[in-house]
Structure 1
Amino acid sequence: MKKAVHFGAGNIGRGFIGLLLSKAGYEVTYVDKVSEIIDAINDKKSYTVMIAGEKEEKIMVENIMGILSSDEQSVSKAIMEANIITTAVGPEVLNKISLQIAAGLKMRLMKKTVEPLNIIACENKVGASEFLKHEVFKFLTPAEIAAIEPSVGFPNAGVDRIVPPQKNDDILSVMVEPYFEWVVDKKAFKGAIPEIPGMRAVEDLQAYVERKIFTLNTGHAVAAYLGYLKGYKTIQESLKDSKIFDTVKGAMEESGKYLTQRFGFSVEKHEYYIQKTLFRFQNPALNDEVVRVGRKPLRKLGPEDRLVFPAVKALELGENPVNLASGIAAALEFDYKGDEEACIIQHMIKTVGIDETLYKICGISPEHPLNKMVKYALVKTI
């Protein structure tokens, strides 16, 4: 049986990537630091994925095992034997697993393993696999890199599936939405592209990745921050508010001006993609909390991220991104005490003022037209 190693046995790992690998005939080894989950995987040797559609569907995932990330020798051995490696650990954790991957690749060299191996980082980050490659190669000598590169690929990927936090009676069971997308850079694979139903190898990966980030992630963030300000608990609840719904849709359409111009998406098809995304957000079975979707606002307010970047691009195209400006303003007002980054932003606004905060976090200078738009939106939200 083909073997897959997947770093990250959380809900996304089990309910998305691990599920598809298992359905494709792989024995999936999960690597995670949470002993409770790893023990359950090794004890039960299967789990259920519930698809939260109009009619709930249940899928049994079998042929699985787990390894604690602290068991370095076992992780290295699993990597040595793997036909494919994937991750769903969060972008900020990739550098923490890079040493283990490097150790496994060294073991493959020692065993003279020549079969191609592809390592795919399935993260909410542009260029995640390339980033992981850079981190892994820090732990290899030039000679080892030269020996590994011909047969080990790090194809970038774009992933999309809403998997909200949940508490189920069974620690391994996980609920996911019906829709998913897993696209991978066709040109970066080593050897034959693995046949995994649900994974698409594409030539123009950047188009898919940016479409997702600047549509789904943009809309999700705007809904979360506006919903939080109005006291709503979930995305689904927030979007029942017609003003929030219209602002979210408007923000997605504003970012769509850039996407259709940049990648040549037809306006009609992109509008359908927006409508489909809004429909997904409103799935009543998901109950996605606004504080979860809005977490880590420092990153989400970055100049290259889901709110500021499309707003700047819309302005460059002569558009007036009032809805994106409202989303940015609402993110600056996100004062959830349980979020460290939200607290940092609030402290910054109080100590250095809004102009300096916009410049330091968002890269928006006081002279930039977006500065005035955001400040106007702030006055409206206060």
Structure 2
Amino acid sequence: MNAIVMGAGRIGRGFVTELLTANHVNITFFDATDAMVEELNKQGQYEIHVLGAESKNTIVKNVKAYSTKDTDKLAECWADADFIFTACGGKNMKAVGATLAEAFKKVIAAGKVHTSNIVTCENWIDPATDLKNGILENLTEDEKKVFEENTGVSESVVMCTGTGAPDPSKLVNPMDTWVQDLRYLPVDKDRIRGELPTLEYIEFVPEFGNLLKQKIYTNNTSVATVAYLGRLKGLTYVAESANDPEIEPILDGVYAEINEALVKGMGINEESQLAFSKRAKAKYTDRAIIDILTRIARDPIRKLGPEDRFIGPISIALKVGVNPKNIALGCAAAIYYENPEDEVAVELVKIRKEKGVDYILENICKQDLNGPVVKCIKEAVAELKQKGWIKED
């Protein structure tokens, strides 16, 4: 079996590659960063380290990497590939779709069209739809028909964390990467074309439904809360913040609110949701996983969007009579997040200082200033100021 991995970051060359290698799948990497492509080819191999379980490490050999700009090579590889896995960042799905469309045209021209599937591995709401739209809008009507008949565009839920070296000073191979000890990837079965392969650790799940949104509103909301509150307190690491005696009770409150909101508001199975939240807390409080808060907190403007990890569950909670005061504390901390090394965070600080919190709530969060979501968040801001965590007037 052959697969293309688009995006050679920590999830692509780490978690996804770990699972594919365990299944003896031949992998070809494509990445948008020339330096990444060059380094992968220069090293020729690297090691995927499993945090807290080094005996499970995977050595990836015979590495082949190409630029995503090389659509001739992408088409050549696609002609022999059964699967394409994307780990490029959800906001890039439309651009990745355009690249895949250009390559698919060349697959058609070469007469090499066959049944294949694309699986998104993104922390993003509905990435498969964004990717497919990005592909189809760059194909002719005839090409669209060929694509639809032969290619599935599905999505997965990545619950594993990928990180850098716990001790960068000891790093020998710059391509080495570290992953959580969690070999499991659920994939939406109903969007897959052709015969399903039997792959260990990869489960093709029927009636996938809201699984990805459930993951984002449980895992991403809770770890973002940990990140932004932790930074307000001057902390550095995810586990350090999640175990902080002042933050951990808030984290527990977040899970309680999310659990009730998703069960009542989205019809998610209660047992499933409780298991989701327990796994999430165990993951973020695990001190063996060395992950920095600034990595989790980056790109705060996107994370304050109307359907993202804060406003989305807050809105659902309020509609079903749940008071999301703890989720709102995370949102309030995000509004006041500062990191001079993060361009988006710098922009957010500028907006907040020049235009005010109301501007953020109305224009970034897309909320009615007289509505219940804004009231809830403003109460959270007041509470964080009273605690002394927000020191700005």
Q: Name the SS of the counterpart of 1:101 in structure 2.
A: helix
Q: Name the SS of the counterpart of 1:155 in structure 2.
A: strand
Q: Name the SS of the counterpart of 1:210 in structure 2.
A: helix
d(CA) in 1 for partners of 2:73 and 2:234? 47
Q: Name the SS of the counterpart of 2:85 in structure 1.
A: strand
Distance 1:310 1:263, change over 3 A: closer
How far is the alpha carbon of 1:367 from its aligned partner?
1.4
User: 2:262, 2:316 within 8 Å by CA — same for their partners in 1?
Assistant: no
Match of 2:218 in 1: 215
The CA deviation string for residues 63-99 of structure 1, in whole angstroms up to 9 with x for no partner, is: 5421123433222211222221111011222333333
Mapping of residues 315-330 of structure 1, within 5 Å: 315-330=318-333
Q: 238-247 or 369-378: which moved more?
A: 369-378
Match of 1:87 in 2: 86
Match of 2:154 in 1: 155
Q: Name the SS of the counterpart of 2:322 in structure 1.
A: coil
d(CA) in 2 for partners of 1:115 and 1:323? 50
How far is the alpha carbon of 1:348 from its aligned partner?
2.3
Match of 2:178 in 1: 175
Match of 1:304 in 2: 307
Query: 252, 256, 263: which is aligned to 1:253?
Result: 256
d(CA) in 2 for partners of 1:232 and 1:43? 37
Mapping of residues 84-233 of structure 1, within 5 Å: 84-166=83-165, 167=168, 168-233=171-236
Distance 1:299 1:53, change over 3 A: same
Match of 1:284 in 2: 287
TM-score w.r.t. the length of structure 1 is 0.93
d(CA) in 2 for partners of 1:339 and 1:181? 31
How far is the alpha carbon of 1:114 from its aligned partner?
4.4
d(CA) in 1 for partners of 2:80 and 2:106? 10
d(CA) in 2 for partners of 1:81 and 1:251? 46
User: 1:158, 1:205 within 8 Å by CA — same for their partners in 2?
Assistant: no
Aligned-pair identity in percent equals 28
The CA deviation string for residues 308-346 of structure 1, in whole angstroms up to 9 with x for no partner, is: 111111111111111011111111110212222222322
The CA deviation string for residues 104-159 of structure 1, in whole angstroms up to 9 with x for no partner, is: 21222223334301111211112212211111222211111112211111113222
- Residue identity matched to 2:100: I
Distance 1:365 1:56, change over 3 A: farther
Match of 2:389 in 1: none
- Residue identity matched to 2:148: E
How far is the alpha carbon of 1:180 from its aligned partner?
4.6
d(CA) in 2 for partners of 1:334 and 1:50? 31
Q: Name the SS of the counterpart of 2:373 in structure 1.
A: helix
Distance 1:276 1:341, change over 3 A: same
d(CA) in 1 for partners of 2:36 and 2:340? 29
Match of 1:239 in 2: 242
User: 2:240, 2:287 within 8 Å by CA — same for their partners in 1?
Assistant: no
* Ranges in structure 1 where 5+ consecutive residues have no aligned partner: none
User: 1:219, 1:249 within 8 Å by CA — same for their partners in 2?
Assistant: no
Distance 1:346 1:30, change over 3 A: same
d(CA) in 2 for partners of 1:59 and 1:9? 16
Query: 247, 270, 277: which is aligned to 1:274?
Result: 277
Counterpart check, 1:46 vs 2:7? no
* Ranges in structure 2 where 5+ consecutive residues have no aligned partner: 386-393
Distance 1:197 1:328, change over 3 A: same
TM-score w.r.t. the length of structure 2 is 0.90
d(CA) in 2 for partners of 1:123 and 1:216? 13
- Residue identity matched to 1:65: K
- Residue identity matched to 1:326: L
User: 2:47, 2:176 within 8 Å by CA — same for their partners in 1?
Assistant: yes
Query: 346, 352, 369: which is aligned to 2:372?
Result: 369
- Residue identity matched to 1:216: N
Q: Name the SS of the counterpart of 2:302 in structure 1.
A: helix
Would you say how many aligned residue pairs link Structure 1 and Structure 2?
381
The CA deviation string for residues 267-290 of structure 1, in whole angstroms up to 9 with x for no partner, is: 455333322211111222322111
Q: Name the SS of the counterpart of 2:378 in structure 1.
A: helix
- Residue identity matched to 2:340: K
User: 2:261, 2:322 within 8 Å by CA — same for their partners in 1?
Assistant: no
d(CA) in 2 for partners of 1:374 and 1:145? 45
User: 2:221, 2:310 within 8 Å by CA — same for their partners in 1?
Assistant: yes
User: 1:314, 1:320 within 8 Å by CA — same for their partners in 2?
Assistant: yes
d(CA) in 1 for partners of 2:239 and 2:40? 32
The CA deviation string for residues 31-50 of structure 1, in whole angstroms up to 9 with x for no partner, is: 11344443443355432211
